Amino acid sequence: MKLTHLTQDAYETRPWKNGKGLTTEIYRSSTGADQGDFDIRISLAPITEDGPFSPFPGADRRITLIEGAGLDLDFGDHVLHLNPFEPQGFDTGLAPTGRPLGGPVRVINIMARRDAWRFVDCRVVSELDETLVDNQLGVFFTASGNWTDEDTLALEAHHTLLVEGPGLMRLSGTADHKGIFAVLEKQQA
């Protein structure tokens, strides 16, 4: 099992692909120089006003509201409502209009190019005890609190842990802690 611990000082602030805001890029497995060239991309973004999401054709997104009252994603023919800490998924090539409810919000995005990876799971956790198999990648984002494993690993709020399977992920946290956990599986060629 290979662990990659990413801290906030390693994250990069970049303009949104559509130029309408800024995002904190946590991780991107790059397939090219363009922001849209990735296999996996993890980002943390504030949404302060109504506006279009950047399109990333060919990628699936799991989005979780981690700060704020709510967010509506308007796809034209339907609206997807996001409540805090309830991950939702959509085809990110559709580029909905985001409408924050009751003031600014912040979201964590995990995107994967569907011909390279598929989402197996994405959920909010307060403890983590998960077995990954070959060809799986675990993505763990600490939305709040401090987290530790059984050995020496210590994660603070807004840290990210990437775990390449096979292996066991076991983490616990301090009071009032929440984490976003996703499992992606590599697509076979």
Tens digit of each residue's pLDDT (9 = 90 or more) over 132-186: 999 999 999 999 999 998 888 899 999 999 999 999 999 998 878 999 999 999 9
Same domain, 127 and 106: no
Q: Which pLDDT does position 101 carry in this prediction? A: 97
Residue 157 within any structural domain of the chain: yes
In this structure, are 24 and 98 located in the same domain?
A: yes
pLDDT one-digit tens code per residue, 47-92? 999 999 989 999 999 999 999 999 999 999 999 999 999 999 999 9
CATH of the domain at 156: 2.60.120.10
Q: Is the model's pLDDT at 128 over the cut of 60?
A: yes
Domain assignment present for residue 44? The answer is yes
Q: How far apart are CA 159 and CA 155, in angstroms?
A: 6
Q: What's the confidence (pLDDT) of residue 32?
A: 57
Q: Are residues 177 and 84 in the same domain?
A: no
Question: Which range of residues forms the domain containing residue 39?
Answer: 11-113
Instruction: Give the tens place of pLDDT for each residue, 23-44.
Output: 999 999 976 555 568 999 999 9
User: Is the same domain home to 46 and 136?
Assistant: no
Cis? peptide before 166, omega within 30° of 0: yes
pLDDT digits (tens, 9 = 90+) for 113-127: 999 999 999 999 999
CA-to-CA distance for 54 and 63, rounded, in angstroms? 13
- Alpha-carbon gap, residue 53 to 49, rounded angstroms: 11
Domain boundary pick from 113, 133, 160: 113
85 and 130: one domain? no
Whether residue 61 lies inside any domain: the answer is yes
Q: What is the pLDDT of residue 36?
A: 63
Asked if the structure places residue 2 within a domain, the reply is no
Residues 52 and 104 in one domain: yes
Which residue would you say has higher pLDDT here, 97 or 188?
Answer: 97
- Please calculate the CA angle 16-18-21 and round it to the nearest 5 degrees: 40
- pLDDT over threshold 70, residue 109: yes
- Give the chain's domain count: 2
SS3 sequence of 95-135: CCEEEEECCCEEEEEEEEECCCEEEEEEEEECEEEEEECCC
Q: Is the pLDDT of residue 19 over 80?
A: no
d(CA 108, CA 67): 10
User: pLDDT band at 14, cuts 50/70/90?
Assistant: confident
**C-beta neighbour count of 130 within 10 angstroms:** 18
Task: Mark whether 24 and 90 lie in a shared domain.
Answer: yes
- Structure pTM? 0.92
